[in-house]
Structure 1
Amino acid sequence: MQQNKLIVSCHRALIGAISTKLRGLTVKLEDSKLYWKGYFDGEPTEEEQDAVSTACTEVLADFPFISSLEEEYVNYPYPQKMDMLQFWVFLRWEEAG
């Protein structure tokens, strides 16, 4: 049940925050720690990274029991294979490479 609430929270927070360079965003909730990892197709601009980071902050506001966060944004150009943490909250369509 908690996972479903987290997915909905992430989707709501990401509305208007996804740039064309964002390939995927994966998260994992483990005890009271949230892992949040964004894969970008090229180096993200400060604005692109800030938009996704703001979405992360909005998700944290929905879950007061989360006491720690590991937030990471990586330049990971297509067609490199991305690793999923627990589940994807955003995944761009890409042709099989």
Structure 2
Amino acid sequence: MSFDLNAALSSMHRAILGMVSSNLRGIRIEEKNGCLWIYFYYENSPSEEEEEMVNFIYTEFVSDFPDQKTDFKVISLPRNEMIPKIGEAVYLRYGELGPV
């Protein structure tokens, strides 16, 4: 299966509706070795509720790509550290783009 970035971004945008907490700094997606990786960046360690939201988002996303290998990582990253610019941004909290 070939990777369709627009379809993946659209699917992820739908999946995150109503699932963004104030602790979530950003979500990025990338294709690496045939696998779609989703990275969830939190300012502080996610709460149990936030972990459930990540699982919901991931389940919603993968249901649109049943034949695509996918995985995700949840990363706690303090506010003073920049989110790595890997893959494509799905969501970035205000101010996460860095200096313009």
State TM-score, norm by structure 2: 0.84
Q: Which residue of 1 aligns with 2:81?
A: 80
Aligned residues: 96
Pairwise CA distance, 1:94? 1.8
Gaps in structure 2 of 5+ consecutive residues: none
Q: Which residue of 1 aligns with 2:51?
A: 49
Counterpart mapping for 1:1-97 below 5 A: 2-30=4-32, 32-67=34-69, 69-94=70-95, 96=98
User: Which secondary structure does the structure 2 equivalent of 1:71 belong to?
Assistant: strand
Pairwise CA distance, 1:85? 2.4
Q: Which stretches of structure 1, 4 residues or more, deviate above 4 A after TM superposition?
A: none
For 1:31 and 1:5, the matched residues in 2 are separated by 18
Question: Deviations for 1:49-93, whole angstroms, at most 9, x for unmatched residues?
Answer: 2102211111111012213x3311111111211113210101001
For 1:35 and 1:19, the matched residues in 2 are separated by 21
Gaps in structure 1 of 5+ consecutive residues: none
